[in-house]
Structure 1
């Protein structure tokens, strides 16, 4: 048996494993969020791996924010679960709160292809 065990199962993180959501403000689509789920070792939990979520904001005009990591206590993840996301953008005019909603799996795959987001981007 390995000394470091896998993370505790958490079904609430399943949508973040290759998920894509849409960001809207005032009903207008402003961009998308692509997410990926992984795990990491932390000295704060040395015997169990922890979940780790990365996300990329891709704006409707093609610009992208750098990938952002989130880990326990999951601030961005909690926001997306609640239906919004606070974005801190390199462009101050884009910084702020956006409504967030997950896309279906077929639409997610098409959106990732259109945005040209690959696992290497995270």
Structure 2
């Protein structure tokens, strides 16, 4: 039995592995959210890796929010699974709840290329 266990399988997190979605407000597309699925070491016994989701919001004008991490209990992840995301921006006019429409993998790849999203973005 290995001392350190892998993360629990969770297929509901697969879309967050290099995922991307369009953010909309009142039916108007205003930006994107890009996600990355990683793991971290849990401090509980037995030692186990846990999933960790990073996301970054990029607005249509090219401005970016700081990347944000989410881990169990996955507050932002649960929002995104439900089709929305609450953004807490340094620009108060951009803070709020946005509708989220996930892109298919090809569209996500195209959006990542367009907005120069790399692992270093997170």
Query: Per the alignment, do residues 10 and 57 of structure 1 end up closer, same or farther by CA in structure 2, a change over 3 Å counting?
Result: same
- Match of 1:37, SS? strand
Structure 2 CA distance, aligned partners of 1:48 and 1:17? 20
* Cα deviation code 1:48-91 (max 9, x no counterpart): 11100000000000000010000000000000000100000010
Look up the match of 2:110. Answer: 110
Look up the match of 1:92. Answer: 92
Question: Offset of 1:45 from its aligned partner?
Answer: 5.0
5+ unaligned residues in a row in structure 1: which ranges? none
Structure whose residues are more often strand by fraction? 1
2:75 counterpart of 1:75: yes
User: 2:3 touches 2:46 (CA, 8 Å); kept in 1?
Assistant: no
Structure 2 CA distance, aligned partners of 1:20 and 1:85? 12
Question: Offset of 1:44 from its aligned partner?
Answer: 3.4
2:17 counterpart of 1:17: yes
Which ranges of 4 or more aligned residues in structure 1 deviate by more than 4 Å?
Answer: none
Structure 1 CA distance, aligned partners of 2:23 and 2:45? 33
User: 2:54 touches 2:67 (CA, 8 Å); kept in 1?
Assistant: yes
1:12-51 map, 5 Å: 12-44=12-44, 46-51=46-51
What TM-score results when the alignment is normalised by the length of structure 1?
0.96
Aligned residues: 122
Structure 2 CA distance, aligned partners of 1:98 and 1:45? 38
Q: What RMSD over aligned residues (CA atoms) do the two structures have, in Å?
A: 1.0
What TM-score results when the alignment is normalised by the length of structure 2?
0.96
